Amino acid sequence: SQTIHQWPATLVQPVGSPLSLECTVEGTSNPNLYWYRQAAGRGLQLLFYSVGIGQISSEVPQNLSASRPQDRQFILSSKKLLLSDSGFYLCAWRLADRYYEQYFGPGTRLTVT
Amino acid sequence: GDSVTQMEGPVTLSEEAFLTINCTYTATGYPSLFWYVQYPGEGLQLLLKATKADDKGSNKGFEATYRKETTSFHLEKGSVQVSDSAVYFCALLVDSSYKLIFGSGTRLLVRP
C-alpha cells in the first residue's frame, strides 16, 4: 500500500532563517506531487506541483521554492523565512491516470517568529 | 476562474442532529467534486466524491449529490457524532487539470 511521509511534524523558525520541508511517498512510482499551505483559519492554497523529476510548476509567486530530486521525494525550501510563511504545509500525491484520487500527508506546522 | 464557496463556520450541533454544509462552485468544463475532512492536527482525507452530474457520493453516513443545475454539492449526514468534529473542505477538479481547488473549509463541532 502507498504511504506518504512529511517531516518535521512541527517547526519553529526565526524570521530570515532558511527552511527545508521534506515529503516522501512509498509504494508507488511516478506520482504527481503537490505542496499546499493552509494559513490559520483559511483554506488550502496550492503552492507547487510536479509531474516528474525536476519538473516543478509554481502556482503562487513568493519566497518559497520546491524541488524534486528523486521520483518520490518533494522538498519545499526557503532561503529567508517571512512571518507570513507561518502555516500548515501539506504534501499530497496522486497517480497520473487516476486524476481524482489525491492523498495527503500528515502535514508540517511551521511557526515563524 | 474556477472557485468553490462554502458556508462559513463554525457549525455547532448536538449529537444525533442533522448536518448540512453548503457548497457551491463555479467552473468551466465539467468538474469532479469532492469533500475532504481534516481531523484536528492531521492532514486531509478524501471523504467522498462525485465525478458527473446527478452522481451521489457517500461514505461513513455522509452524502453529497452533484447538482449541475444549481452548481452545488452540499454535504449531509442524518445523525452526527462527536467523532465527526472536524473541518470539512469542498473541492473541485476540472477535467484533466492537475490541481484541486478548495473552498475555505467549514469547522464542525458536535457536542455530546
Q: Quick one: pLDDT at residue B95?
A: 63
Which of A43, A57, A100 has its CB closest to that of B32?
A100
- Report whether pLDDT(B18) > 90: yes
CA-to-CA separations, A9 to A6, B46, B81, B112, in angstroms, rounded = 7, 21, 28, 31
The predicted model gives B4-23 an average pLDDT of 95
Q: How far apart are the first and last CA of chain B?
A: 41
Return the pLDDT at B68.
94
Nearest beta carbon to residue B98 from set A44, A49, A103: A49
Residue range B32-62, pLDDT digits in tens: 999 999 998 788 899 999 989 999 999 999 9
List Cβ neighbours of A100 (8 Å cut-off, separation of 6 or more).
Answer: B32, B34, B49, B51, B93
Question: Nearest residue of B to residue A106 by CA position?
Answer: B43
Query: What pLDDT digit, counting tens, does each position of B81-111 carry?
Result: 999 999 999 999 876 557 788 999 999 999 9
Instruction: Give the per-residue pLDDT at A45.
Output: 87
Place of cell 468551466: B28
Which DSSP letter does residue B17 get?
-
Within the 26-85 window of chain B, which residues sit less than 8 Å (CB to CB) from chain A? 32, 34, 36, 42-46, 49, 51
The alpha-carbon gap from B101 to the nearest alpha carbon of chain A, in Å, equals: 8
Given a cut of 80, whether residue A61 has pLDDT beyond it is no
- Please tell me the predicted confidence (pLDDT) of residue A65: 95
Q: What's the pLDDT score for residue B2?
A: 86
Which residue, among B45, B49, B99, would best test binding to A if mutated, counting the most A CBs under 10 Å from its CB? B99
Shortest CA distance from B34: residue in chain A: A100
Asked if residue A99 has pLDDT above 70, the reply is: no
| Chains A–B, number of C-beta pairs less than 8 Å apart | 47
Cβ atoms B101, B93 nearer than 8 A: yes
Dig out the grid coordinates for B50 from the structure.
462525485
Under 8 Å between Cβ of B33 and B50: yes
Minimal CA–CA distance to B18: which of B62, B65, B48, B73? B62
Among candidates B96, B99, B105 on the partner chain, residue whose Cβ is nearest the Cβ of A43: B105
- Name which of A4, A38, A51 to mutate to probe chain B: the one with the most chain B Cβ atoms within 10 A of its Cβ: A38
Residue A96's pLDDT is what? 73
A7-46 pLDDT tens trace: 999 999 999 999 999 999 999 889 999 999 987 767 788 8
User: What's the burial of A29, exposed, middle or buried (CB within 10 Å: 0-12/13-18/19+)?
Assistant: exposed
Which pLDDT belongs to residue A13? Answer: 97
